Structure 1
């Protein structure tokens, strides 16, 4: 155990001793150390990047059933597109008959029903597009070849774009 000498036991003495010890910490000097980079901290020379050859990850071949699945999806979209294109002339006649009529007329209502049926046929063509997107995502994750999927997707997208053009033209004539 630590023993304190008797002359340090008085409070006045302890305060005086603390004042003397703390006075060394409080100086009025303005000479602070510099924050500039010192010579030993300087880096000499230049770093050269190391060329590491990057090899592309090879894509694995597509599954055997993919070609058949793509053909089936494209066939589904093509048959929906044919139904759309077959119904488009009749819808166009109804739209032309309803042009300029009141929204409460039977001709306007018939044209609206025909447009809704045509939009429904368009959505049937778009269903395979969702399946193609899923196939593309799965092939991307599995690092499989995606070109055949992309080609089929482009073909289906072109069919849907043609349908969208027809629909927008018919809607414009309804106004």
Structure 2
């Protein structure tokens, strides 16, 4: 016990001595002002023609083929979505105004879940297009075709989102 008390006092004295070094006056330190040797003198001239940014590399055929495949996949998923919309609309219209415990309400929810599943197939294609876009950016390749494909798929998904929002709003009225 006594050894522990002695050790605690020794630690406190060492800590106090260390901290007292931080509290000394500032007159012992050199000024932090800029010295004459540290001042920048002169200027650099910019060479003509070196301001041009190099053009990105063209996208490879494999990348462009993959982009077309993903757009086709998104359109196929969108077509499946559009085919399922009429059945979902019928189910939602029959369930509108019904109690949540009614079987028609459960059927409408299943139909809307099917639509959301079809939508997710299109979003998978969009996710892959996003990856291709990121890879093209990091590889400094042209991204115009990938970007237009992404916009096209995003427009399809936007239409699907609008349809889903409209149908959900009808169901929960």
Instruction: Tell me the equivalent position of 2:97.
Output: 100
Counterpart of 2:13 in structure 1 is none
Deviation, structure 1 residue 48: 6.6
Q: Which runs of 5+ in 2 are unaligned?
A: 1-30
Q: Choose from 39, 47, 66 the match for 1:69.
A: 66
Taking only aligned residues, the RMSD between alpha carbons, in angstroms, comes to 2.8
**Alpha-carbon distance between aligned partners in 1 of 2:42 and 2:124, rounded to the nearest angstrom:** 56
> Deviating runs (4+, > 3 A) in structure 1?
46-53
TM superposition shift of 1:57: 2.2
> What is residue 4 of structure 1 aligned with on the other side?
none
Distance 1:65 1:51 in 2: 40
Deviations 1:64-111 (A, max 9, x none): 212211111010000000000010011011101100000000000000
After TM superposition, the structure 1 = structure 2 runs for residues 73-84 of structure 1, keeping only pairs within 5 Å, are: 73-84=70-81
Deviations 1:3-51 (A, max 9, x none): xxxxxxxxxxxxxxxxxxxxxxxxxxxxxxxx9x9xxx7xxxx977744
Structure 1 unaligned regions, length at least 5: 1-34
Q: TM-score w.r.t. structure 2 length?
A: 0.72
State which structure, 1 or 2, has the greater radius of gyration over its C-alpha atoms. 1
Question: Does residue 170 of structure 1 match 2:167?
Answer: yes
1:11-50 equivalence runs, <5 A? 50=45
Aligned residue pairs total 144
2:125 aligns with one of 122, 125, 128: 128
Give me the TM-score of the superposition, normalised by structure 1.
0.72
